[in-house]
Amino acid sequence: MKSGSNLEKVLSSGHFAVTAELGPPKSCDPEVVEKKAEILKGFADAVNITDNQTAIVRTSSIATGVIVARKGLEPVVQMTCRDRNRIAIQSDLLGAAALGIKNLLCLTGDHQSCGNHPQARGVFDLDAIQLIDMVRRMRDEKKFQCGEEMSVEPRFFIGAAANPFADPFEFQVIRLAKKVTAGAEFIQTQLIYNVEKFARWMKMVREMGLHEKTYILAGVGPIKSAGAARYMKNKVAGMDVPGEIVERLQAASDPKAEGIKLCLDIIEQVRAIEGVAGIHIMAIEWESAVPEIAERAGLLPRPQID
């Protein structure tokens, strides 16, 4: 065991893992975080704490992770390269580890032009692959990125993201392989609505043997309306939402219920794909949907591993 985190134990024990997502508030109100944690507790093995997602200022992922942990829910702290250089990242990593954080998701980060401070300077001193490698060396070699040794190392279960739908399609598996080589031990994918294309990507993953070197968690999530599906299809880079998904929600008498049913259908399909070790439920600002999805998908109770 690299970290001893609950998520690492669940995956290494061969259980089908479930992670969810918790977005920090655009304020310093801890009650917002606590309420979301109460909703998700017991329905996921760990929850991602986003790091100023879409480049919008929110409570820090590390602080939010500590609040979540105090509520009895294991955090996966996201760390992006957009806002910090390598000195600040390593400092934050040491602080997170000192506060008991055990899971880390390494991301390059959305460009600052997407957010509420488009005039901000992006740092991008490292990219996600370099960040993964740096964290692995800090943990396994007890060395800072400069080569200097440390006395007590951060023990993280290291994760990364993958997008099976970005262009060029064939390059995405090569990029995944680079992240695995750098030290990524679990992977959470972009939201999946085109299951056929995801299955083709997983076939390439298996051909390279990557599913035996890292744990692949398939990204799934409910959609609230046809309008939301249409927006993701036409406006969100890296998303692949087939037209029939929009039509299905458009024809539904209760789009929210249909959105949950759609998510359940996709979970059933991706579970059957060889090499998928779990799912990552991204119910953005709809945390209340996660318990229903987990229960109806037959994913409860979650395993308790000592």
The string of pLDDT tens digits covering residues 34-76 is 999 999 999 999 999 999 999 999 999 999 999 999 999 999 9
C-alpha to C-alpha distance for 205 and 215, rounded to whole angstroms: 11
pLDDT at 238 over 90: no
Coil, helix or strand at residue 14: coil
- pLDDT band with cut points at 50, 70 and 90 for residue 279: very high
pLDDT at 283 over 90: yes
For the chain, the domains span 6-296
pLDDT of res. 148 = 98
pLDDT of res. 291 = 98
- pLDDT tens digits, residue range 111-146? 999 999 999 999 999 999 999 999 999 999 999 999
- pLDDT tens digits, residue range 182-223? 999 999 999 999 999 999 999 999 999 999 999 999 999 999
C-alpha to C-alpha distance for 87 and 91, rounded to whole angstroms: 6
C-alpha to C-alpha distance for 143 and 215, rounded to whole angstroms: 26
pLDDT at 174 over 90: yes
Q: What is the mean pLDDT of the chain?
A: 97
Q: Which residues contact 89 (CB under 8 A, 6 or more apart)?
A: 79, 81, 125, 126, 131, 134
pLDDT of res. 285 = 84
- pLDDT band with cut points at 50, 70 and 90 for residue 306: confident
C-alpha to C-alpha distance for 131 and 149, rounded to whole angstroms: 18
pLDDT of res. 237 = 82
pLDDT mean over 78-106:
98
The CATH fold of domain 6-296: TIM Barrel (3.20.20)
pLDDT at 179 over 90: yes
pLDDT of res. 303 = 97
Residue 281 corresponds to which tokens in the numbers above?
A: 């439920």
Apex CA 229: angle with CA 278 and CA 254, to 5°? 90
pLDDT of res. 269 = 98
- pLDDT band with cut points at 50, 70 and 90 for residue 295: very high
Global pTM reads 0.97
DSSP secondary structure letter of residue 86: H
pLDDT of res. 11 = 98
Q: CA nearest 191: which of 256, 282, 78, 260?
A: 282
